[in-house]
Structure 1
C-alpha cells in the first residue's frame, strides 16, 4: 500500500528529479555533520550543513562558512562530489554506473534523462549521456592540469594538484566554491592571465550546454552545420559576455576599490571575468561588495539570464532571453513570426519563454519581499542575493554569512528551485496536461 502511494507520488520525471536532488541534499548535509568533515570540535548547525549541501548540489556556491578553512579535506571532497552530481545531474551519474555494470536503461529512466537534459525526444538519449560524461571529464581533466601547473609556482605540489582539481570541477560545473580561504575566491589572481583565462573557458564551456558542445565537436563531419539551437546559444552568450564586460569596465574604471588601481590589461581581464562569472559560476576576482550599484544591477540581470539549456548552470537560460528579445523586435517591426537565422519559431516556444520568465520574475520578487522583512539590509543587496541563489550563481555582496535562520531557509529554497527549474516545479505540483478537444470563440481586448 505504501509502495503504491509512493509510486503514485513520484510517477512523473519532474517529480523523480525533484525527489532525487532532495535526497542528495539531505544525505550530503548528514555527511557534513560527521566529525571527520569539519575542523571545529562541535558539528555545524543543521541549517548550515543543509545550506552548504543545497548550495553544492544546486551548483550555486553561496557559503555560510568558509569552504577553505571550516571543512576538512574529507568535507571538501564531499562538497566536490555533490558539485559533480549536481552539475551533471544525478540521473546522468546513475547512468554512468549502469553503463559500467552493463545494465539496460529502462524506458522510465530514459524519460527522466530526457527531462534532466532538456531534450525534446528520447532518441539517442543514452548516447548523449555518454558524450556528456566524456566531455565533462576531459574538460575537467585539462582544466585541473592547467590550474595545477600554475599553482605549483605558489604552493607545494600536492596542494597545487588538489586545488587544481577542486577548482576545475567547481568552475566547469558553474558551482563557484573555492578553497582559497577567507572567502578570497580568485581575488589574489586578479591580474593572472592563466588563472583567469582557464577559469573563464571552464565556465563558458560548462554553461553552453552539452548539446552545443556535441554540436561543436561534430564540426569535422561531412556536410556539418550548426543547429539553430547552437547558433542562438553561441550568439547570445557572446553578446552577453562582451556587452557585460564593456559595461563593467566603463562603470568601474575609476573605482579604486575594484578596477581603479589596476593597469588597463588587468582591468580588461577583470571586467571579462566578472561578466563571465554571472553565467552562474560565482567566482570573482574583485570585491563584489565594492562594486557600484549600477554595476551590481548589470550583474543581477546577467545572473537572472544565466546559462544555456542542458548545461551545468541555472537562470532563465540564454535561449529564453533570446526568444524574448526576438519577440520584442518582431512586435516592433509589425511582423507575426519570430525568426532566427531564417528559421521561424513555433508560437509554443514563445509562450514557454514568457511563462518561464514570468514565473522566475515572480519568484525572485516574492523572495526579495520576504527577505526584506527578515533581513535588515539594503534592498539592492537583498535582490542581488536572491537572484544569485535563484540563478545558482554564488556571487554575493557579503550578505550570505549574515543571513538569519529564516533567510537561510529562503535561500536554500531558491537554490533548489533554481537547479531543478521553475517549470519542473510547476509540472510537479500542478495537474497533468490534457489534450484540448475544442477551442473557445475568439475574443478581443485592447492593449497598450
Structure 2
C-alpha cells in the first residue's frame, strides 16, 4: 500500500508537478526567515528583507547571483544557512521529485525518470532508500575530494588558521559541485586567479556537477564501454565535452588580447582561464575575472552557453544539454529528409521531440521576456540586461556587475527568473510527460506554409 493510500493524501498535493515548486518556495521562505535573524548577521551589518529573500532564492535555486557580499554581511551561522540551502537546492530536487513520483503510484515524470534510469530502476517505494544512498554518496564523494584539496591549499597558501581554511574549503566545494556560484570572497575566485590548483579543482567540480547523477552512475559501471551507454548519457557526455571545447576555443580567440580579462596573462594562465570561462557559464557562476570586461562576441557566446546549461537531473540549469542536442538531431533529420529522428541505433519518439521543443521555446521566451523586463525596470544596457536575465534563468550566477545595482522591482524579476529557471522547466517537462493521452480520433491534416 502506498503512502498516499495509507494516509489518504490527495494525489494533487503529492504530484511532482505541483509539489516540487511548492517545496522549493517553502525552503526559500524558510531561508529568508533564518537569514533575517540577528545571529546570522555580521556585527555592524544590517540585512534587509529583500537582501535576505534574494540571497535565499539564489542559494536554493543554486544560482549564485547576490546583491550583498556574503562574507561580510553574514556571520558563520548565516553562511551555514546559505550552504545548507544550496546543498538542498543542488541535490534535493532529485530526491523530492523522485519520492513524490513514487508516492503518487509510479507516475514518474521526465526529470524523475532520468534520475532513476540505468541501474537504479525506481519502480516502488522500497527502492527509494537505495536511490537516496547512491545520490548522497556520489555527492559526498565529489564534494569531499574537492574540499580536501581546497582545504589543504587554502591552509598552505592563503589562511593562517586551519578552521578558516576548512570553512572556506567546505563552502567552496559545496558551491562548486552544486553549481551554486556563491562565494565568501567579495571578488569570487579572483583572489585565486593565478593558482591552478584551486581554479582547476573548482572548475572540474563544477563540470562534474553539470553532468548529472544518472550519467555519473552509468559512467561508474560502463565507462570502458561507450557503445553500451544510453542515449541520454551519450548526448550529455559528448555534448558537454563539445560545448566545453567550443567555448574554450572561442573564449581564447575573442579574449586573447583583451587587457580587461586575459590579455596580460601568460600563455598557460590564459589557457587555464579559457577553460574556466568555458565551464563556468554552463551553470558554475564562479569567476576569476570581471565578466563586465569581456568583449561583445564573448558575451553573446556566453549567453548562449548559459541558456543551454548542463545535463538533465544535474545541479545545473538551462534548457539542458540533452534538449539542445536532441533538437540538433531533429534539424539534421529534417535536412536529410529522414522520417525518424535517429541517434545511433535508436529512434526518438515524437512525444520526446515535442517536449524538448516546448522546453527550448519556453526557455528562450523567459530569457527574452526577462531581458525586456530588466530594461524597463533598471538603468541597464541591452547586453547587461540579456546577460543578467539569461544568467538568472540558467541558474548560472555570472554577472557583469549589474546585480547589486538593481531596483527592487528588477530584483523581483531576477528572483522569478531564478525560481522558474530551477523548477519551471522541470515542472513543465513533468507536466508534458504526465499529460500524455491517446486520442480516439484523428483530424484531417493541413500543411501551413513554413519558412
**The two structures share one fold, judged by TM-score above 0.5:** yes
Alpha-carbon spacing, 1:90–1:245, altered in 2? closer, same or farther (3 Å) = closer
Asked whether 1:36 is paired with 2:39, we answer: yes
Asked whether 1:66 is paired with 2:69, we answer: yes
For residues 333-352 of structure 1, the aligned pairs below 5 Å read 333-352=336-355
CA offsets 1:285-338 (integer angstroms, 9 cap, x no match):
111111111111111000000000010111000000101111122222222222
Asked whether 1:159 is paired with 2:164, we answer: yes
Q: CA deviation at 1:186?
A: 0.9
For residues 21-420 of structure 1, the aligned pairs below 5 Å read 21-39=24-42, 41=44, 43-89=46-92, 92=95, 107-108=103-104, 115-116=111-112, 118-119=114-115, 122-123=122-123, 126-152=129-155, 153-156=157-160, 157-180=162-185, 182=186, 184-219=187-222, 225-420=228-423
* Unaligned runs of at least 5 residues, structure 1: 99-104
Alpha-carbon spacing, 1:127–1:411, altered in 2? closer, same or farther (3 Å) = same
2: distance between equivalents of 1:93 and 1:350? 26
Cα RMSD, aligned residues only:
2.8
Q: CA deviation at 1:68?
A: 1.3
> 2:16–2:97: 8 Å Cα contact kept in structure 1?
no
Alpha-carbon spacing, 1:387–1:419, altered in 2? closer, same or farther (3 Å) = same
CA offsets 1:352-375 (integer angstroms, 9 cap, x no match):
111111111111111211211101
* Unaligned runs of at least 5 residues, structure 2: 1-6
Asked whether 1:437 is paired with 2:433, we answer: no
> 2:282–2:309: 8 Å Cα contact kept in structure 1?
yes
Alpha-carbon spacing, 1:79–1:115, altered in 2? closer, same or farther (3 Å) = same
1: distance between equivalents of 2:253 and 2:223? 40
Alpha-carbon spacing, 1:115–1:145, altered in 2? closer, same or farther (3 Å) = same
1: distance between equivalents of 2:330 and 2:224? 34
1: distance between equivalents of 2:222 and 2:230? 11
Q: CA deviation at 1:117?
A: 6.4
SS at match of 1:307: coil
CA offsets 1:59-83 (integer angstroms, 9 cap, x no match):
0000000011111111100000000
Alpha-carbon spacing, 1:56–1:223, altered in 2? closer, same or farther (3 Å) = closer
> 1:52–1:63: 8 Å Cα contact kept in structure 2?
yes
2: distance between equivalents of 1:331 and 1:223? 27
Q: CA deviation at 1:349?
A: 1.8
1: distance between equivalents of 2:380 and 2:26? 33
1: distance between equivalents of 2:141 and 2:385? 38
2: distance between equivalents of 1:114 and 1:302? 23
CA offsets 1:127-156 (integer angstroms, 9 cap, x no match):
333211110011101100000111112112
1: distance between equivalents of 2:207 and 2:58? 20
| Number of positions where the alignment pairs a residue of Structure 1 with one of Structure 2 | 436
Q: CA deviation at 1:42?
A: 6.5
